[in-house]
Amino acid sequence: MVKKIFISIFIISTLYSQNIYEKSCVECHKSLPASLERMFMNYLLVYSGEKNVKVGLFHYIRYPHKDTSVMSKLFIDTIGLKKAIPRYKLSDKELKKAINIYWEKYKVIGKIK
């Protein structure tokens, strides 16, 4: 019984220690063949600047469409188009926060040598 309680506490604390990006993005993307970093580079290739990338990403998450996707046609045909994340599941504020974390994690400025 005590063991179960400890395990439960551990799982709950682990979940709460994850940030919004990890909770909302990484969890689902883990199972996809393309990494989040690869997708980030695709966003860079299409949108270039920070503000543009963030706006493009935000729009796509809310209104995913094959024409606005940065992934290849093959990828879309194989994996399918992602579902839109509604606001009640992830508010605009939370989404922007997650996108900011995503940008900071994979941005190339300051990493190129």
Interface positions with another protein (CB under 8 A): 35, 37-38, 41, 44-53, 108-109, 111-113
Considering beta carbons, is residue 41 or 85 the nearer one to another protein? 41
Closest C-alpha among 80, 104, 85, 66 to residue 24:
85
- Shortest CB 13 distance to another protein, Å: 31
- Smallest separation (angstroms) from another protein to the CB of 25: 18
DSSP labels for 57-87?
Answer: HHHHHHS--TTT-SS-HHHHHHH-PPPP--T
Contact status, residue 105 vs residue 41, Cβ threshold 8 Å: no
Looking at beta carbons only, is 46 or 79 nearer to another protein?
Answer: 46
* Structure tokens, 67: 């024409």
Whose Cβ is closer to another protein: residue 38's or residue 66's?
Answer: 38
Residue 98, token pair as written in the block: 């997650």
Count CA atoms closer than 13 A to 46's CA, side-chain side: 17
Q: How far is the CB of 67 from another protein (least distance, A)?
A: 18
Tokens coding 17: 């220690």
Nearer to another protein, 46 or 84 (CB): 46
Q: How far is the CB of 48 from another protein (least distance, A)?
A: 4
